[in-house]
Homo-oligomer: A and B are copies of this chain.
Amino acid sequence: MKPIHSLLFLFLFFFISEKAVSQNRALVIQSDFGVKDGAVAAMKGVAYGVSPELKIFDLTHEIPAFNIWEAAYRLNQTAAYWPEGTVFVSIVDPGVGSSRKSIVMRSRSGHYFVTPDNGTLTLVAETLGVTEVREIDEHTNRLKNSNESYTFHGRDVYAYTGARLAAGVISFDEVGKIISGDIVKLPYQKAAVEGTSVKGTVDVLDVQYGNVWSNIPQSMIIEAGIKYDDMINVKILKAGKLVYQGRMIFGRTFSAAKEGQPVAYLNSLLNFSVALNMASFAQRFGISSGPDWTITISK
């Protein structure tokens, strides 16, 4: 026996293993279905049926019903923490059955997003960049024998296509034709520095704790001359009408303020945020989130 044969076997072994790994990327599912019924489990059954080796995860299924903005936000909050090649399926679909397209976007970061084209990709498209968008061809990418069901695209088209892409059963090219125009995007107030003050959107609440998160990045805080331990003014408005106005410390952590007192800080996305130490800011002051809610800060 020649040593070359031994090497050949080892090569084969690693080649097969490697192929299996490279074709089995994570599938991460998000929806507004909740987990009280069987909808999520049916989607996972379909995905598992595509390949028992798939790694299937939940992003969240508690997106408020029909809230596309929050779906967009949650994708943007998490996608970058998953490896290149991860396939995200997001199903918040108030227009199910209408003429909205079903698409898969590949980001510059190498992530895939399977979703109705309704604004869900507004934020990840900006943050991660877009290399290519394809419309799902439902003639080839739809669970067999599901044609008569008009209302569960999440299971029959999105989970099925996402699973086949993640498992390497189809390539990205086989999803369907390239879309030439732009994807649907939701309008919102972008963060901006105006002299020594900064303006932005309350884009989401940290719901478990009632903290108020904005889309203002650390760099704009620095640009406006605001430093840790400075006292700052914060205004929060709904549709231009003042809802909260107050003065608080810009701390490195919640413990920069006394228990029950307001504190401004950088959240885990390094964006400007407001909290009460050990209590709910959103609940005490009646703050909500979305494109309607703006925030202004100044020294």
**Residue positions of A touching B, CB distance < 8 A:** 1-2, 5-6, 8-10, 12-13, 16, 21, 24-26, 28, 32-46, 48-49, 52, 55-62, 65-66, 74, 77-78, 81-83, 86, 94-98, 148-152, 155, 204, 206-209, 218, 252-256, 265-268, 270, 278
Whether A57 lies near B81 (C-beta < 8 A) is no
For residue A38, which residues in chain B have a CB less than 8 angstroms away from its CB? 59-60, 74, 77-78
Chain B nearest CB, measured from A277 CB (Å): 9
Determine the chain B residues whose CB is within 8 A of the CB of A42 once the complex forms.
77-78, 81, 268
Closest residue of chain B to A256, judged by CB?
Answer: B97
A96 partner, pick from B33, B37, B45, B254, beta carbons under 8 A: B254
CB atoms of A94 and B278 under 8 A apart: yes
CB-defined contacts of A26 to chain B, threshold 8 Å: 45, 48, 52
Known: A1-B2, A12-B10, A26-B48. Is A98-B253 also a contact (CB below 8 A)? yes
Which of B86, B94, B266 touches A151 (beta carbons < 8 Å)?
B266
B97 engages A49 (CB within 8 Å): no
Pairs across A and B, CB under 8 Å, 16 listed = A1-B5, A26-B45, A26-B52, A28-B41, A28-B45, A36-B207, A39-B268, A41-B57, A42-B77, A42-B81, A44-B57, A49-B82, A96-B253, A149-B268, A150-B253, A150-B266
Given A38-B60, A59-B38, A278-B66, check contact A148 B45 (CB 8 Å).
no
Q: Is the Cβ of B148 less than 8 Å from the Cβ of A218?
A: yes
Contacts of A25 in B (CB 8 A): 52
Given contacts A1-B5, A96-B253, contact A83 B48 (CB under 8 A): yes
- Residue among A37, A155, A254 with max Cβ neighbours from chain B (10 Å): A37
Chain B: which residue is nearest A64 at the CB level?
B36
Q: Are A57 and B48 in contact (CB under 8 A)?
A: yes
Report whether A149 and B16 are in contact in the complex, using a CB–CB cutoff of 8 Å: no
Assess whether A41 is in contact with B60, with CB atoms less than 8 Å apart. Answer: yes
| Complex CA–CA separation, A152 to B98 (angstroms) | 40
